[in-house]
């Protein structure tokens, strides 16, 4: 993992993400919100566009967000691309990114259904009023109105879903690889730390702390698709080159 040579797909993904990140801040100075066009809105939102399930993976909400995602992409993605080859790696990356969005949409659809009785509620909602922060208190509570507003007008951005897919794949293919984790003074094997990380994400997603804007279920969607793909591919191939 200390090899400075970056395989081609990982290198291009790093470049694209950085270019999108720079463009986001350059255009912001001109009053253009790139996330409003390239972030992924809920499929029933009037702001949803057909290209967003792909472009959202290359958008990020801040420097820390892109820094950690790109570091993980370089660290784990380089190993996996060398293991699988470019074609299988990019397929894995994109499929897990799409799976992340699919699970997030599924959770949002369930929440909308619980509030309105239908997952496609734009026709029964006053979206203009919601966009202005107004709602009918006889129909929805403040919390419900906040959920509706966030779902219909809050885009999801980031490569984190695909990154979680990479983490799971790495943990399955290299379970005994030792990782150094921040604030832990000793290396921890991947087969121990990655499942713990997934469980933390699951608990945070279920808890839904107020003010938490992280799409935890998207992370879990990427992890789930990553697990399924590695299982399927391992059953069709004989690459069991685990670390000792």
Spatial contact of 128 and 164, defined as CB atoms under 8 Å apart: no
Spatial contact of 28 and 34, defined as CB atoms under 8 Å apart: yes
Number of domains observed in the structure of the chain: 1
Give the span between the Cα atoms of 72 and 215, in whole angstroms: 18
> Is the pLDDT at 208 greater than 70, yes or no?
no
> Is the pLDDT at 3 greater than 50, yes or no?
no
> Is the pLDDT at 209 greater than 70, yes or no?
no
**What's 111's DSSP letter?**
H
For helices 8-28 and 86-116, give the axis angle rounded to 10 degrees: 50
**Rounded percentage of the chain residues whose pLDDT exceeds 70:** 81
Q: Which of 24, 68, 31, 47 is nearest to 160 (CA)?
A: 68
Please indicate whether residue 121 or residue 84 has the higher confidence score (pLDDT).
Answer: 84
By residue range, what is the domain housing residue 12? 8-236
Burial class of 138 by CB neighbour count within 10 A (0 to 12, 13 to 18, 19+): exposed
Give the span between the Cα atoms of 2 and 52, in whole angstroms: 34
Q: Which residue has the tokens 């509620």?
A: 121
Spatial contact of 77 and 168, defined as CB atoms under 8 Å apart: no
From residue 25, alpha-carbon distances to 18, 135, 157, 170, 214 in Å are: 11, 32, 14, 33, 21
Instruction: Assess if residue 49 is contained within a domain.
Output: yes
Q: What pLDDT was estimated at residue 141?
A: 81
Please indicate whether residue 196 or residue 235 has the higher confidence score (pLDDT).
Answer: 196
Mean pLDDT confidence for 208-222: 66
Give the span between the Cα atoms of 172 and 175, in whole angstroms: 6
Instruction: Assess if residue 2 is contained within a domain.
Output: no
Mean pLDDT confidence for 177-192: 78
pLDDT tens by residue, 95-112: 999 999 999 999 999 999
At 106, list the tokens.
């599924």
Mean pLDDT confidence for 220-238: 84
Give the span between the Cα atoms of 227 and 225, in whole angstroms: 5
Instruction: Assess if residue 169 is contained within a domain.
Output: yes
> Is the pLDDT at 15 greater than 90, yes or no?
yes
Instruction: Assess if residue 3 is contained within a domain.
Output: no
Neighbour count for residue 5 (Cβ, 10 Å): 7
Q: What pLDDT was estimated at residue 181?
A: 72
pLDDT tens by residue, 150-159: 889 889 999 9
Give the span between the Cα atoms of 212 and 229, in whole angstroms: 29
Instruction: Assess if residue 26 is contained within a domain.
Output: yes
Instruction: Assess if residue 163 is contained within a domain.
Output: yes
> Is the pLDDT at 241 greater than 60, yes or no?
no
**What's 130's DSSP letter?**
H
Which residues contact residue 91 at a Cβ distance below 8 angstroms, ignoring those fewer than 6 apart? none
Give the span between the Cα atoms of 67 and 64, in whole angstroms: 5
Neighbour count for residue 222 (Cβ, 10 Å): 33
Give the span between the Cα atoms of 167 and 182, in whole angstroms: 16
pLDDT tens by residue, 27-71: 999 999 999 999 999 999 989 999 999 999 999 988 888 998 999
> Is the pLDDT at 87 greater than 90, yes or no?
yes
> Is the pLDDT at 137 greater than 80, yes or no?
no
Instruction: Assess if residue 150 is contained within a domain.
Output: yes
Write the Ramachandran bin of 184: left for phi over 0, alpha for psi from -120 to 50, otherwise beta: beta
The whole-chain average pLDDT of the chain stands at: 84
CATH of the domain at 162: 1.20.1540.10
Q: What pLDDT was estimated at residue 132?
A: 58
Instruction: Assess if residue 227 is contained within a domain.
Output: yes
Out of 2-16, 97-111, 161-175, least confident range: 2-16
List of E strands, the chain: 178-179, 188-189
Mean pLDDT confidence for 189-208: 72
């Amino acid at each position: 993992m200390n090899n400075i040579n970056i395989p081609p797909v990982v290198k291009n993904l790093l470049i694209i993400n950085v270019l999108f990140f720079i463009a986001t801040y350059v255009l912001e100075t001109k009053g253009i919100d790139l996330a409003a066009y390239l972030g992924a809105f809920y499929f029933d939102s009037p702001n949803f566009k057909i290209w967003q399930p792909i472009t959202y993976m290359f958008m990020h909400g801040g420097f820390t967000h892109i820094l950690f995602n790109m570091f993980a992409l370089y660290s784990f993605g380089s190993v996996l691309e060398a293991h699988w080859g470019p074609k299988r790696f990019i397929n894995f990356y994109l499929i897990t990114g799409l799976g992340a969005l699919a699970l997030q949409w599924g959770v949002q659809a369930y929440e909308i259904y619980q509030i309105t009785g239908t997952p496609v509620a734009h026709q029964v909602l006053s979206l203009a009023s919601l966009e202005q922060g107004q709602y009918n208190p006889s129909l929805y509570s403040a919390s419900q109105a906040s959920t509706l507003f966030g779902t219909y007008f809050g885009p999801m951005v980031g490569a984190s879903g695909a990154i979680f897919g990479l983490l799971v794949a790495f943990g399955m293919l290299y379970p005994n690889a030792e990782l150094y984790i921040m604030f832990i003074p000793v290396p921890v094997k991947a087969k121990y730390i990655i499942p713990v990380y997934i469980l933390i994400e699951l608990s945070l997603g279920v808890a839904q702390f107020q003010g938490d804007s992280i799409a935890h279920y998207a992370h879990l969607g990427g992890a789930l698709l990553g697990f399924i793909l590695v299982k399927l591919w391992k059953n069709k191939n004989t690459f069991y080159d685990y670390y000792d």
